[in-house]
Amino acid sequence: MSPRRPTLLALACVAAVASVAVNALSVPFSRVSGASSRSSKDTSSNLFDFQNSNNASSADIYVATLSVAGQDFVIQLDTGSSDLWLDTAGIDLSSLTQTGYETGLSYSDGTVAEGPLYVGNVTFGNFTVNQAFISAPGTNATTNQDRGLLGVGPPLLSTVQSALANTIYNGDTLMNNVLDSDPSLPKFTTFSLSRSFATGKTDGGTFTIGEVNSSFSAITSNPQLDVVSKDRWIVLMDNIIVNGRNVSGGSSFSVSGQSSGQTLACLDTGTTLAQIPRTYADAIYGPVPGSILQESAGIYAVPCDAKINVTFVFAGMEFPVHPIDTVTATTDDNGNIVCYSGFPFSDGSDSSEDFLLGDSFLRNVYSLYDYGSFFNESASPFIQLLATTNADQAYPEFDSLSAQRNQSLLSSRSSSGSSPGGTGSGSSSASPSRTSKLGAMSILLAFGLLII
């Protein structure tokens, strides 16, 4: 079962779709936070810089827009799932085809996106495709103004595709339909999750289909990491380096090509932070003076000034994490700033990988997901990564970024008059490790004719 859960956003920040190249699609997407959704008109708009709240309903997510039945929907982009679902409450769907089938996804926080499957034109960027999606009016899997989720994971993970298999309807994933609509498009997507150090604000990123952002063209020379799962973006990781010390091994898996010491890492933009094995979290946070293990929550409380070097190593190549991402900050009930592990732990809750690496890692790389044989090609699927964090530059800027982060937490609190991290607790009941939404292997709900 997936530990991920939903998060929310502010409509005001959503970027328009824009195009870049003729045979490609580049969609800028926005980062929005629960705090700014409540106070997005504030002049002190610099709220929740770098913030990944430990309250699911106010965590940061990355969103884009697509349109269905003449309506724009703000949706979360998720590499960790493969379905499109929309909260269609109040939307006239009469121009679409109702298939008579239903399906849904449920998440480990108890939220559910379920309902009838419709097929109709869905426009995403310059593409309009005839697309099946889950109509989930009033779903509690969205929070504030986000209206759905677009999974761009491997097609085999799609519950819609399963539900419509052997019917007259095309249940293919949106990525599949988009790539089919233009066979000349290279079959990959890329993500860059940006963070503006100038303003201290994480303000979005770019999602591309079939195109590499020219700023990051070096990625194509980097090692192609074989995807070792049929339905998830999982690759082999060599080790991590914590303050110069190697940590490796302990994998719960043994897959073809996995050498001694290697672990399985799933890259998931739909996860706000991460879920890593307990032993690795102990290695990162245990030695930090003043750190306090909160075992049931799967986190360490750490001093906000903890400046920890963590580097992830794939195919012998090092991908440093900015120290600001290693420690996440929020406010407690009394408005005090408190800090937690940016890489929470969880053992045994995930049956598909050792490491679930969400945005606290992904902000530090440009990532490319090549579908290969997932989409009718002979080549194997692979992932490429390009480091975008320079460890030697990142380390000295930690203090000023941390001060900025503090400042924005305090100012958002005073401007909103409530605990803007939304977390309320900030105590051991807090569970920042479970901040994100992702459909994936979450429990599939079967209805009617659906057979998984």
Ligand X SMILES: *[C@@H]1O[C@H](CO)[C@@H](O)[C@H](O)[C@H]1NC(C)=O
Residue 85 φ/ψ, nearest 5 degrees: -130, 150
Residue 452: CB atoms within 10 Å? 9
- Residue among 339, 401, 391, 345 at smallest CA distance from 52: 339
Phi-psi label, residue 315: left if phi above 0, alpha if psi -120 to 50, beta otherwise: left
Which residues 105-144 are close enough to bind ligand X by CB under 6 A?
110-112, 121, 126, 128, 140
Residue 5 φ/ψ, nearest 5 degrees: -150, 170
CA torsion, ordered 391, 312, 83, 181, to nearest 10 deg: 70
**Are the C-beta atoms of residues 33 and 58 closer than 8 Å to each other?**
yes
CA torsion, ordered 301, 303, 307, 313, to nearest 10 deg: 0
Q: Is 246 in the site for ligand X (CB under 6 A)?
A: yes
Find the residue with minimal CB distance to ligand X.
19
**Smallest separation, CB 165 to ligand X (Å):** 12
Stretches 219-227, 279-287, 291-299, 417-425: which one binds ligand X (CB under 6 A)? 417-425
Q: Which residues contact 128 (CB under 8 A, 6 or more apart)?
A: 121, 122
- The residue whose two tokens read 């870049």 is 20
- The residue whose two tokens read 């009941």 is 429
**Smallest separation, CB 164 to ligand X (Å):** 14
Q: 228 vs 310, which CB is nearer to ligand X?
A: 310
Q: Is 411 in the site for ligand X (CB under 6 A)?
A: no
**Smallest separation, CB 226 to ligand X (Å):** 18
Q: Pick from 71, 213, 252, 349: which binds ligand X (CB under 6 A)? A: 213
Pairwise CA distance, residues 171 & 118, whole Å: 10
Q: Is 334 in the site for ligand X (CB under 6 A)?
A: no
Stretches 85-93, 263-271, 286-294, 301-309: which one binds ligand X (CB under 6 A)? 301-309
| Residue 204 tokens, joined | 């979005």
| Residue 170 tokens, joined | 């095309």
Pairwise CA distance, residues 103 & 117, whole Å: 7
CA torsion, ordered 116, 122, 124, 128, to nearest 10 deg: 150
Q: Pick from 266, 283, 324, 337: which binds ligand X (CB under 6 A)? A: 337
Q: 351 vs 429, which CB is nearer to ligand X?
A: 429
Q: Pick from 115, 151, 171, 422: which binds ligand X (CB under 6 A)? A: 422
Q: 204 vs 270, which CB is nearer to ligand X?
A: 204
Q: Pick from 198, 256, 334, 392: which binds ligand X (CB under 6 A)? A: 392
Q: 98 vs 215, which CB is nearer to ligand X?
A: 215
Q: 136 vs 228, which CB is nearer to ligand X?
A: 136
- Residue among 374, 441, 435, 403 at smallest CA distance from 304: 403
Stretches 2-10, 76-84, 157-165, 399-407: which one binds ligand X (CB under 6 A)? 399-407
Task: Tell me, residue by residue from 1 to 30, as one string, x for binding to ligand X by CB under 6 A and - for no binding.
Answer: ----------------xxxx-x---x----
Q: How many CA atoms lie within 13 A of 301 on its CB side?
A: 16
Q: Is 427 in the site for ligand X (CB under 6 A)?
A: no
Please tell me the count of residues contacting ligand X according to CB under 6 A: 44
Q: Is 95 in the site for ligand X (CB under 6 A)?
A: yes
Q: Pick from 60, 231, 238, 268: which binds ligand X (CB under 6 A)? A: 238
Q: Is 333 in the site for ligand X (CB under 6 A)?
A: no
- The residue whose two tokens read 């380096």 is 241
Which residues 346-385 are close enough to bind ligand X by CB under 6 A?
376
**Smallest separation, CB 269 to ligand X (Å):** 15
Which residues 257-296 are close enough to bind ligand X by CB under 6 A?
none
Q: How remote is the C-alpha of 24 from its chain's centroid?
A: 22
- Residue among 327, 329, 341, 343 at smallest CA distance from 275: 343
**Are the C-beta atoms of residues 86 and 118 closer than 8 Å to each other?**
no
Q: Is 177 in the site for ligand X (CB under 6 A)?
A: no
Binding site for ligand X (CB under 6 A): 17-20, 22, 26, 55-58, 95, 110-112, 121, 126, 128, 140, 192, 194, 206, 213, 215, 238-239, 243-244, 246, 304-305, 309, 313, 337, 376, 391-392, 395, 399, 402-403, 406, 419, 422, 424
